[in-house]
Amino acid sequence: MEEKKGYAARLSSKVFNYKKLCMSRSFKLHRPRGYLCGIGMCPNCMMRVGGTPNVRICTRKGNELPEMEIQNKLPFLDSLDLTQVFSRVLSLGFQYRHFYNSRFMSKMFFSILKKMAGIGRVPSSAGRRSAWQRLEVDCLIIGGGYSGMKAALAAAGIGDLQTDMQSDNVLILDSFEELGGDFIARWGKANPYTEEIGLMKEEVRSMITKINSSRRINCMCNCTAVGYYKDENCILALSEDATYEVTAKNVFVATGGHEVLPIFPNNDSPRVVLSLGLQILMNDSAELPSSATVVDLNGLGTLVAADLIWRGGMDSVSVVRSGSFTDKEEELGSQFGVKLLPKRIVSDVARSGRVKLLSLAEGRLEKQVTDLVVICGRYQPNFELALQLGLDMQLVSEGKNVFTVKGMSGSKVSNVRAVRSNLVKDLNKGGVHNRYDTSLEDRVYMDITADEYLRRFMNSPDSFGCICEDVSVRDLCISIDKGYDNVESLKRYTGCLTGPCQGKQCAMTVASILHMKNPRSQEFLTTPRQPIYPIPFSSLVSQ
Partner 1 sequence: MTERSAEVLVVGGGVVGLSIAYNCAKMRIGKVLLIDKGKIGRGASSRNLGGVREQFSNEPMIKLTQYSIDIWEKLSGELQWNVLFDQKGYLMLARTEAQAEQIHQNVKLQNSLGVKSVLLSRERVLEMLPQLKSDDVICASFNNRDGSVHHDAVLWGYERAARRMGVEILEDVECFKFVSSSGEIKGTETSAGLILAKKLVNATGVFSKDLAATVGVDLPIKSYRREVVVTESYKHFLKPVFWDLSTGLLLSQTLRGEVLCDTRDPWNEESRETTVSLTFIKKLAKELHELFPQLTGLNLLRQWSGTYDVTPDGSPILGEDDTVKGLYFASGFTGHGLMVAPALGRLFSEYISSGKKPELLRPFRLSRFAEGKPIMEPLVAGRKLS
Asked if 289 touches partner 1 (CB under 8 A), the answer is no
- Build a one-symbol-per-residue string for 203-232: x at contacts with partner 1 by CB under 8 A, - elsewhere: --------------------------xxxx
Asked if 62 touches partner 1 (CB under 8 A), the answer is no
Q: Exposed/middle/buried for 226, CB within 10 Å: 0-12, 13-18, 19+? A: buried
Residues 7-26 interacting with partner 1 (rule: CB under 8 A): none
Question: Taking every pair of C-alpha atoms in the chain, what is the biggest distance, in angstroms?
Answer: 72
CA-to-CA dists, residue 523 to 486, 495, 512, angstroms? 7, 18, 11
Q: Which residue in the set 88, 115, 215, 520 belongs to the binding site for partner 1 (CB under 8 A)?
A: 115
Residues 120-179 interacting with partner 1 (rule: CB under 8 A): 120-127, 129
Minimum distance, C-beta of residue 115 to partner 1, in the bound complex (Å): 7
Asked if 536 touches partner 1 (CB under 8 A), the answer is yes
Minimum distance, C-beta of residue 342 to partner 1, in the bound complex (Å): 42
Q: Yes or no: say if 65 and 11 are a contact pair by the CB < 8 Å rule.
A: yes
Q: Which is nearer to partner 1, 197 or 541 (CB)?
A: 541
Which DSSP string do the residues of 362-388 spell out, in sequence order? T--EEEEE-SEEEEEPPEEE--HHHHH
Asked if 537 touches partner 1 (CB under 8 A), the answer is yes
User: How many chain residues touch partner 1 (CB under 8 A)?
Assistant: 56
Q: Which is nearer to partner 1, 121 or 429 (CB)?
A: 121
- Count of residues for the chain? 543
- Build a one-symbol-per-residue string for 234-263: x at contacts with partner 1 by CB under 8 A, - elsewhere: x-x--------x------------------
Half-sphere exposure of 57 (CA within 13 A, CB side): 31
* CA atoms of 497 and 491, how far apart (whole Å): 6
Which of these segments, 95-103, 369-377, 399-407, 437-445, binds partner 1 (CB under 8 A)?
A: 95-103
First to last CA, the chain: 19
Q: Which is nearer to partner 1, 122 or 361 (CB)?
A: 122
Q: Which is nearer to partner 1, 287 or 488 (CB)?
A: 488
Minimum distance, C-beta of residue 49 to partner 1, in the bound complex (Å): 11
Asked if 104 touches partner 1 (CB under 8 A), the answer is no
Q: Which residue in the set 169, 194, 489, 521 belongs to the binding site for partner 1 (CB under 8 A)?
A: 489
Q: Yes or no: say if 325 and 302 are a contact pair by the CB < 8 Å rule.
A: yes
- Which 3 state secondary structure label does DSSP give 115? helix
Q: Which is nearer to partner 1, 5 or 412 (CB)?
A: 412
Half-sphere exposure of 52 (CA within 13 A, CB side): 15
Which of these segments, 46-54, 147-155, 271-279, 331-339, binds partner 1 (CB under 8 A)?
A: 46-54
Amino acid at 37: C
Q: Which is nearer to partner 1, 285 or 543 (CB)?
A: 543
Asked if 529 touches partner 1 (CB under 8 A), the answer is yes
- Which 3 state secondary structure label does DSSP give 422? coil
Which DSSP string do the residues of 136-193 spell out, in sequence order? EEEEEEE--SHHHHHHHHHHTT-SSS--S---S-EEEE-SSSSSSHHHHHHHTTS---
Q: Which residue in the set 53, 181, 270, 431 belongs to the binding site for partner 1 (CB under 8 A)?
A: 53
* CA atoms of 95 and 215, how far apart (whole Å): 59
CA-to-CA dists, residue 322 to 204, 359, 443, 510, angstroms? 32, 9, 15, 22
Q: Which is nearer to partner 1, 22 or 540 (CB)?
A: 540
Asked if 292 touches partner 1 (CB under 8 A), the answer is no
Give the interface with partner 1 as residue ranges (CB under 8 A): 27, 51-54, 95-101, 103, 106, 110, 113-115, 117-127, 129, 229-232, 234, 236, 245, 486, 488-489, 492-493, 495, 500, 502, 527, 529-531, 534-538, 540-541
